[in-house]
Amino acid sequence: MQTYIGESDLLSMVISENIDLPEYQGTPEDIATLKIKKAFKILKRPVLCEDTSLAFHALGGMPGPYVKWFLDKIGPAGLFKLLEGFESKKATASTIFAFYDGNDIRLFRGDVEGEIVQPRGSSSFGWDPCFRPLCSDKTYGEMTVLEKQAVSHRSAAFNKLKPFLNDLLL
């Protein structure tokens, strides 16, 4: 998170907690809403949760929010192989940041269109080697941190979240 916040007053608002949340089923928005409510119930203070998904157009949006489980079983190369028999390799990478203070739930979603390719580059984050955003000839796995930050779905979501967090400081 510090990569996105930088050195600012926002950083003093964020305390990272590692809590075990159930893996819910539903749309990415439904899952983010259920997770944020559960996190608030556990921590009893305002919370910010993040959930990421990868939707293959040829598979009607799957694996979507379940991409973590697919990766655990088949890895990035397996994600590419899933689309072998399909003409379309298009995919949407999404991140949703959810904020809940006990009153209102706010969702901030960022999407990046891309395609699933033969894995290339580092696998520092799950499916980075096989996702190539349409705006680049590189996969996320081939990009530097700054290159990825400039085009990622997570950055797109954070850019929507940041003004909201800044308003909380006022």
Give the closest residue to 152 by CA, choosing from 129, 128, 130. 128
Question: Between 13 and 1, whose confidence is greater?
Answer: 13
Q: What is the 3-state secondary structure (H, E, C) of the chain?
A: CHHHHCCCHHHHHCCCCCCCCCCCCCCHHHHHHHHHHHHHHHHCCCEEEEEEEEEEHHHCCCEECCHHHHHHHHHHHHHHHHCCCCCCCEEEEEEEEEEECCCCEEEEEEEEEEEECCCCCCCCCCCHHHEEECCCCCCHHHCCHHHHHHHCHHHHHHHHHHHHHHHHHC
Instruction: State how far the Cα of 51 lies from the Cα of 36, in Å rounded to an integer.
Output: 10
* Domain around 136: 2-169
Q: Give the CA diameter of the chain.
A: 53
Residue 97's pLDDT is 96
Amino acid at 103: N
In CATH, what number is assigned to the domain containing residue 138? Answer: 3.90.950.10
Instruction: State how far the Cα of 131 lies from the Cα of 30, in Å rounded to an integer.
Output: 24
How many structural domains does the chain have?
1
Given pLDDT bands bounded at 50, 70 and 90, which one contains residue 55?
Answer: very high
Of the given ranges (20-24, 71-75, 95-99), which has the lowest mean pLDDT?
20-24
pLDDT surpasses 80 at 49: yes
